[in-house]
Amino acid sequence: MRKISIDPVTRLEGHGKIDIFLNDEGNVENVYFIVPELRGFEQFCIGRLAEDMPVLTNRICGVCPEAHHMASVKALDRLFGVEPPPAAKKIRELLYMAFYVTDHTTHFYALGGPDFIVGPDAPPSERNVLGVIRKVGLDIGKEVIGTRARNHRIIEMIGGRGVHLTGGLPGGWSKSLSKEELEEIKFNAKKNIDFALFSLKIFDDVVLKNPVYKELIMSDVYIHKTYYMGTVDEHNSVNFYEGKIRVIDPEGNEFVKYDPADYTKHIAERVEPWTYLKYPYLKNIGWKGFVDGPESGIYSCTPLSRLNVSDKIATPLAQENFEKMYGALSDKREDGRYKPVHHRLATHWARLIELLYASEHMLELANDEETALSNVRTIPGGIPAGVGANGSPEAVGIGSVEAPRGTLTHHYVSDEKGVIKKVNLIVGTTNNYAPMTMSIKRAAEKLISKGKVVREGLLNRIEMAFRLYDPCLSCSTHSLPGKMPLIVKIRDKNGDAIKTIKRNSWD
């Protein structure tokens, strides 16, 4: 066997790199959070059949294939001009709730939890899920693994495959659910509710009752007063599967509510020369740089953002917890809505409330008689193509869902035979690229002053700033929070590196 050594610097070239620029006074001027680029997806799709897109796009990312599958199949409903029957919509949504339960559970216990439950200043060797288990008990670890296992089983049962789903079709779903399957789902949804309530209790006992952690949540290091975005139903309750996109301003006023198909009227993308990823912003406010406030078009799209844009949550236990969180962190406005919570670390709390909502809604859907109906597909009659810009026949399909990491939009253009001509995707995380950059900058500002750098804890504080967004950058930077190979370069005003702080698993 050959002995090899791997240089993390080589491997990290262009990956998970943060450049901090200082000004003449030695204070933070700018922060560049650079992420790698995956190229050629549109080119890869052009010429393929539209109906292949749900199984193709769910391979973009191994972390949330379910979200891509759902956004894609919803785009196809529109492209083919078909309305899925009620059972199909509910089956899709049911699967999507199971996905949310696994995703939010994993994030909280593996990534968010360690900072709070074990402590932000605990040594990295303890600040991990094992540290959480040691602190909270072995049973919680088994519950986390058990929750993942039972919901993965449901995803496989409904979706046809565990990883890359095949169930979604334009106009519906490929199978109906039997009585036995629905009984199994109900049984598991109840377990999910118990688990979500238990997780919120841990958050209450360990985090909220600890003044140090509470202070951390309230600390101005992690506050940004941006616009917020999320999908709501007709009652302005949070919805992961469908509805209108609602955007509120930093004061909590509704700025706009639009059909996902109109996203290009509201969202523009900023290109910066130093990174491949584009920064989406609100077109009708404009790009004012990496600043918050009502004049800046930067918005966030996270679990906290989704709750900020919602008047309420449609399930009773999640609503109770929604009231509790906003009661603790916000005030009511004159119109009865809560003001938005700007404390970014509260995103972890919001994520657990969403976990509870997903669990409760899963049970509602499994109990819903319409979910059990056997008609799960409206067969498309053809493609209602109009006339495209160059005079040739053209059909458009735009679909969106709330991915755990933000609104996910798939936009396809095909010819009259359904052959793809154009593809545009706005993936969940990119919505948060600008706020993430701001959060990193803020954390850096607190640790660097007049050229003096507090090395101790710099990396973790910076990581905490973006970990709360649960970023999935170009589906993925292959970086690892907690133990993440990360390079922070501090540069003077001429761009010369004056200090490099590295941490990686090979050290």
Query: How far apart are alpha carbons 398 and 395 in whole angstroms?
Result: 10
Residue closer to another protein by CB (options 239, 504) is 504
Q: Does 483 bind another protein (CB under 8 A)?
A: yes
Contact 444, 436 (CB under 8 A): no
Query: How far apart are alpha carbons 16 and 480 in whole angstroms?
Result: 9
Segments of 157-288 assigned E as strands: 168-169, 172-173, 227-232, 244-248, 254-258, 267-270, 279-282
- Least distance (Å) between residue 448 CB and another protein: 26
Q: Does 135 bind another protein (CB under 8 A)?
A: no
Residue from the set 21, 35, 65, 232 that interacts with another protein by CB under 8 A: 65
- Least distance (Å) between residue 147 CB and another protein: 9
> Using the 8-state DSSP alphabet, how is residue 410 labeled?
E
Contact 159, 95 (CB under 8 A): yes
Query: How far apart are alpha carbons 22 and 441 in whole angstroms?
Result: 11
Residue from the set 86, 120, 124, 141 that interacts with another protein by CB under 8 A: 141
- Least distance (Å) between residue 80 CB and another protein: 23
- Least distance (Å) between residue 384 CB and another protein: 29
Q: Does 194 bind another protein (CB under 8 A)?
A: no
| Count of residues that bind another protein according to CB under 8 A | 60
- Least distance (Å) between residue 440 CB and another protein: 16
Residue from the set 325, 485, 486, 490 that interacts with another protein by CB under 8 A: 485
Q: Looking only at Cα atoms, what is the longest distance across the chain? A: 71
Residue closer to another protein by CB (options 226, 439) is 439
Query: How far apart are alpha carbons 485 and 502 in whole angstroms?
Result: 8
- Least distance (Å) between residue 409 CB and another protein: 19
Q: Does 479 bind another protein (CB under 8 A)?
A: yes
Residue from the set 359, 432, 439, 477 that interacts with another protein by CB under 8 A: 477
Segments of 298-418 assigned E as strands: 299-300, 386-387, 393-403, 406-414
Of residues 22 through 61, those in contact with another protein by CB under 8 A are: 36-41, 43-44, 56, 59-60
- Least distance (Å) between residue 472 CB and another protein: 7
Contacts of 54 (CB under 8 A, 6+ apart): 68, 69, 72, 73, 76, 165, 168, 169
Strand, coil or helix: what is 375? coil
- Least distance (Å) between residue 142 CB and another protein: 5
Query: How far apart are alpha carbons 378 and 380 in whole angstroms?
Result: 6
Residue from the set 470, 487, 488, 489 that interacts with another protein by CB under 8 A: 470
Residue from the set 74, 77, 89, 128 that interacts with another protein by CB under 8 A: 128
Residue closer to another protein by CB (options 124, 294) is 124
- Least distance (Å) between residue 484 CB and another protein: 8
Q: Which neighbouring-strand residues pair with 426?
A: 409
Q: Does 493 bind another protein (CB under 8 A)?
A: no
Q: Does 506 bind another protein (CB under 8 A)?
A: yes
DSSP letters for 81-149: T----HHHHHHHHHHHHHHHHHHHHHIIIIIIHIIIII-TTS-TTTSSHHHHHHHH-HHHHHHHHHHHH
Stretch 162-191: interaction string toward another protein, x if CB under 8 A: -xx---------------------------
The CA-CA-CA angle for residues 158, 153, 148, to 5°, reads: 130
Q: Does 146 bind another protein (CB under 8 A)?
A: yes
Residue from the set 133, 157, 169, 350 that interacts with another protein by CB under 8 A: 133
Q: Does 124 bind another protein (CB under 8 A)?
A: no
Nearest CA-CA partner of 168 in 34, 75, 48, 307 = 75
Residue ranges in contact with another protein by CB under 8 A: 1-2, 4-7, 10-11, 13, 36-41, 43-44, 56, 59-60, 62-63, 65, 103, 106-107, 110-111, 128-130, 133, 138-139, 141-143, 145-146, 148-150, 152, 163-164, 470-473, 476-483, 485, 505-506
